[in-house]
Structure 1
Amino acid sequence: MPRSQPAIPICPPFPISGILRAARRRSDLSQRELARAAKVSAATVGRSESGTILPSINTFATLLAAAGFFLAVVDPDGNVLQPMKTRDDLRDGAERLYPAHLDVIPDPEPGEWWADIYGLARPPETFYRDRRRRDYQRRLSQWQVRVSKHRHLPEPRLHHYRDAP
């Protein structure tokens, strides 16, 4: 049975020009003063505020920072998304970062690596390839760590393919 994709929330067009104008007004800066502080041309500020151009995310963030503001990414509940930390000591055999959606397991125990069943040498770190197992591990961790939020719920259990919803 194919997995259904989660619905992507519909966001209205982002009002960059209005945000820039509001930030500049709150910081009491003229377009020239903001441009000087952000090290961009005054034309860039003016055209961005008028909606004539769509500034890059870097330019937008630089203009906001010069006005004393910053960008944040939030989920539908308003929680700020923190960036992932990159550990240079956790890389695969080709020195690449592991995919962001996988939970890396440093120093895996016997049975934690997917290729243990083939008798291959265990790597210094690995991850669970089975999405159901990864999802279970995350649910269990949330249940254990956020006791006050999840105390009324039964402990999550690992669904096997035959009894999956």
Structure 2
Amino acid sequence: MPWPTAGIVRAVRRRADLSQRELARWAGVHHATVGRIEAGRLTPSIKLMRRVIGVAGFRLAVVDEFGRVLKPMRDWEDTRDGAERRYPSHLDTILDPEPGEWWADLYGLARPPETYHRDRALRDAMRRRSQWEVRAAQNRGVPPPPRACRHD
């Protein structure tokens, strides 16, 4: 199902009790732009959508299939590699790795101040275990997931 921008803009306008012209004026766009969005003839950019719904105090959010809001990842400046690149977002960064936690330990390379697990199965097992431990009260009586182990 495509994103229902037309219905969202109409709902925002109703909640704010504004005409198309008033909403357009407050958002700094031409009134025809609001009309075209509401008619489904224009799919607004995220930037434009933020401006239009922001007039009524609304914000865009990303939610999963259950309606849970996805919070943005923090941008830690101290978790960059030697070339000032961010570590890949899908990897869990390890600050001050212990012996054996860095993939290049087996090659005798110098250990960096931070690294990440490259083994997807290990990362997924660690995340499942961590999520189970955080929700211990909810998981009473539910057996814990197995402890993560390296596949060297």
Q: TM-score, normalised by structure 2?
A: 0.92
Overall identity of the aligned pairs, in %: 60
Gaps of 5+ in 2: none
Instruction: Please say if 1:137 is aligned against 2:130.
Output: no
Cα pair distance change 1:160/1:119, threshold 3 Å? closer
SS in 1 for 2:137: helix
What residue number does 1:149 align with?
138
Residues 29, 67 of structure 1: 8 Å contact kept: no
Residues 143, 155 of structure 1: 8 Å contact kept: yes
CA distance in 2: counterparts of 1:14 and 1:155, whole angstroms: 38
Instruction: Please say if 1:66 is aligned against 2:43.
Output: no
Gaps of 5+ in 1: 1-11
What residue number does 2:101 align with?
112
Instruction: Please say if 1:43 is aligned against 2:44.
Output: no
Cα pair distance change 1:84/1:126, threshold 3 Å? same
Instruction: Please say if 1:14 is aligned against 2:19.
Output: no
Q: How far is 1:152 from its partner?
A: 2.1
Q: TM-score, normalised by structure 1?
A: 0.85
CA distance in 2: counterparts of 1:160 and 1:86, whole angstroms: 28
Q: How far is 1:153 from its partner?
A: 2.3
**RMSD across aligned positions (CA):** 1.5
CA distance in 1: counterparts of 2:57 and 2:75, whole angstroms: 27
CA distance in 2: counterparts of 1:121 and 1:135, whole angstroms: 26
What residue number does 1:9 align with?
none
Question: How many equivalent residue pairs?
Answer: 150
Residues 143, 151 of structure 1: 8 Å contact kept: no
